[in-house]
Structure 1
């Protein structure tokens, strides 16, 4: 298994760069045939599938100091770390004070350019996972093995998930599949619509055949349905054509057939025992001993703590990195002062550290300006657990309350098969779970849903996409602290709805073109 992992890793890394540089001019995935491998180790396929999943959770195969992709700091190369950087720091809720190597550009939503290393790391991470899946699918095509149909479906899902993020973040790329594996000429640029159509076709093909139940951390029908719902709910942004009805079809499947339920304990969803939560549909796994990473929830937990103002052990950490704070774009939705947050009955309002910190973020580089989020922690939900260096808290990539709020949004937008009465029920289920007051039908507007998604889902890697879908990200109709590089916030160009294609990708493939404005 160790040998086959190393072969897979080396060739997949080569495949990632050739997809951008020399276009998938790779060798076969293994030195052994899959039949020979299975004969010597019947669990080999399961092990390889787990390795594919780990590309979304870990940085590399050999501990926190290893990376699948070229990165000066391996911890920075993680998928989840990139999602937080690009989705949350660029939006209204979260800010980072380090400012190193391009973080200032993200946290101020200004001066984006093609040389920012965080754009490169996200692009490279996606185009590491994609050819790795292609290599594996090509090998699987020549052998019979247990649970073949489901393994292939899971692999195609993971590839589609990587492409979904390319669609959302960059809006274009190259379409590398097992069909053009080994092509020696640079691949042509694929437009956002072409990539959308490909991801849609892949997900529709695997949705009927992937298992309806799966072990924790693995994809199943309802994980695929969530990705389809997210693809369709953002379709107007991605293609120019709304697909609200289609989004409703799949989000209803998750709600009505998936068997998930809201966790009665909101804090448990973000604690080290969240593997027992009935709400999590699809997690990115973390473990403090055997799957250590500086890029999974360790980045969120440790990055939001500081020994200067906070008791690290209370949150199960030995290290505080003094980096991330929420802004009033998030905690301001619960009140206009620390006292308001303290007086709120809403559990979510209590998940900010206010002692020693200022409500206003006059200087995003100043640690005490803004309230650190204590939503994620490395203790169990009852507060137990000894402090450790790496987080054991899984990241709830998809969860049921998101599906409930998506349904409500779709009902307001008039999606077929939805009702405002069900939407109100779902929203109030989300709110009352956290001891927030129930709302009435007249309160149920798109603006309310956007705010409720912030109260419920911020720091979960989707805020930028939400703001774009609600037409609040660019322009000046909605301003938040440090938007556009000013303390009070300022208007930004519509070009910021996409990130620039990294310079390294443009240099590698002359068929790629830069996004407008960069």
Structure 2
């Protein structure tokens, strides 16, 4: 990102500001003093909350877990390493436990955001943070409450039952039910929305305005049946309609343009998490997916780690129409060349000295050759890229709004109207053959194209559960559009297949795994907490 507005600059510069003791394994929910949270203006105060979000995007935090626990991505070991005590393998196999470091990474990141938000709300209530730039106390408090609801949504989605803490002076808390967390999140967002700005200018880029809050609310409502036992399709449609009729956002003409550097000008991005390679780092998909030889592909200043690991599950790739432009725009495949486009890049391990050619098929989800598996191509890696990418992460975008509404219509019996919205999104993926972009409502109700089953030595040897996926083609559409964006685990749970189907080396391992365990150190430090069911 080259051009950064003043408010985003503040958000990025507070990256190194430590707002509290980050070791939440010790459950320090309250012990933060005012002198540790001293702000000179409201932007600085909210900035630390947005900065918390940049922790999500490495290989052992939220982004890595959402994708590699699903049927989309896997992180196998190879000759360069990538076993790390089996922590990635266990995510693919659904054999994780409360000691997996990914659990602590997510828990700590989410609750750090909650704790910071609680303290900042308290400081605003006590008029200890100056307002400036035309901001109102009502408006800034509404923004912080939505940010806190965002963190609680991630807690609810990933952990289910968890503590609900809203004050700075709180004893060690017990858990509340997932349904209670869901109701709190809905209430908080609805209460805050009237006071939020309708502006979607660069001043509000990377911040929760009214439309970003509605996108968040729509996502929560889309999963209402998972969280509370009762669906909310019409309520989700209403939030999507509000964003659509606002006229503030539109689809990018080109899919790739959403994910480049300087993507803060995309008309499609409703809420982004901004990154900047030197003062706002943390976005490093290329470092754990790319092979080290690809350093020369972009004349990078950093070297990707070993042979890389994060790669596509071949069964997921097989669902694409070969002419869908999102296939090549999302996945790095085939022969790899240096920045001149001519010099072949070479392997360094099991294919040492041989041309590096990324192939689709992998033997299983546990160990691969260095050139096996399609890698990340969705977020562009600019020439001279550093350890941290300069791209912003589009957490909510307009295609999300259209496809959420489409899914709710489909589930409500309005399949033709749903298809019209899906076709709007598909159109840019089939520019060379517009007829292929058209799908019918009846097709959206059909089974997924995904050939589920257990794989050994490149071959599917056990299909496992073969029950057709209801609205499976809708799930496919979501997969093609949102790969690498943290959607897949959540979508699979909503479509009732996350704990039912087999893929690659994964076999079903218990319905309780739709949520993750509370980190063991957290359980040990708080006698009022009990572990989630099944763990």
Cα distance change of structure 1 residues 84 and 373 upon mapping to structure 2, 3 Å threshold: same
**Cα distance in structure 2, aligned partners of 1:80 and 1:361:** 20
- Correspondence 1:375-386 to 2 at 5 A: 375-379=378-382, 385-386=383-384
Residues 280-314 of structure 1, C-alpha deviations (whole Å, 9 max, x = no match) = 11111111222233xx2x2x122221134x46534
Q: 1:130 is matched with which residue?
A: 114
**Cα distance in structure 2, aligned partners of 1:333 and 1:277:** 28
Q: 1:28 is matched with which residue?
A: 34
How far does residue 405 in structure 1 lie from its aligned partner after superposition? 1.1
Structure 1 range deviating more: 502-511 or 253-262 = 253-262
Contact 2:415 2:442 survives alignment (8 Å): no
**Cα distance in structure 2, aligned partners of 1:112 and 1:452:** 29
**Cα distance in structure 2, aligned partners of 1:139 and 1:271:** 37
How far does residue 9 in structure 1 lie from its aligned partner after superposition? 5.3
Equivalent residue in structure 2 for 1:371, among 371, 374, 379? 374
How far does residue 390 in structure 1 lie from its aligned partner after superposition? 2.2
Q: 2:71 is matched with which residue?
A: 92
Cα distance change of structure 1 residues 430 and 78 upon mapping to structure 2, 3 Å threshold: closer
Contact 1:348 1:434 survives alignment (8 Å): no
How far does residue 424 in structure 1 lie from its aligned partner after superposition? 1.9
Q: Does the alignment pair 1:460 with 2:468? A: no
**Cα distance in structure 1, aligned partners of 2:486 and 2:18:** 29
**Cα distance in structure 1, aligned partners of 2:141 and 2:35:** 15
RMSD, matched Cα: 2.6
Contact 1:171 1:192 survives alignment (8 Å): yes
Q: Does the alignment pair 1:49 with 2:49? A: no
Contact 2:417 2:441 survives alignment (8 Å): no
Equivalent residue in structure 2 for 1:481, among 497, 504, 517? 504
Equivalences, count: 455
Contact 1:94 1:326 survives alignment (8 Å): yes
Question: TM-score w.r.t. structure 1 length?
Answer: 0.82
**Cα distance in structure 1, aligned partners of 2:25 and 2:18:** 11
Contact 2:359 2:374 survives alignment (8 Å): yes
Cα distance change of structure 1 residues 345 and 247 upon mapping to structure 2, 3 Å threshold: closer
**Cα distance in structure 1, aligned partners of 2:395 and 2:22:** 28
**Cα distance in structure 2, aligned partners of 1:282 and 1:390:** 20
Q: 2:438 is matched with which residue?
A: 438
How far does residue 151 in structure 1 lie from its aligned partner after superposition? 1.3
**Cα distance in structure 1, aligned partners of 2:92 and 2:221:** 29
Cα distance change of structure 1 residues 10 and 284 upon mapping to structure 2, 3 Å threshold: closer
Cα distance change of structure 1 residues 10 and 53 upon mapping to structure 2, 3 Å threshold: closer
Q: 1:338 is matched with which residue?
A: none
Unaligned regions of 5+ residues in structure 2, if any?
1-8, 77-81, 335-356, 431-435, 446-470
Contact 1:408 1:423 survives alignment (8 Å): yes
**Cα distance in structure 2, aligned partners of 1:15 and 1:499:** 19
Unaligned regions of 5+ residues in structure 1, if any?
60-76, 336-340, 380-384, 484-489
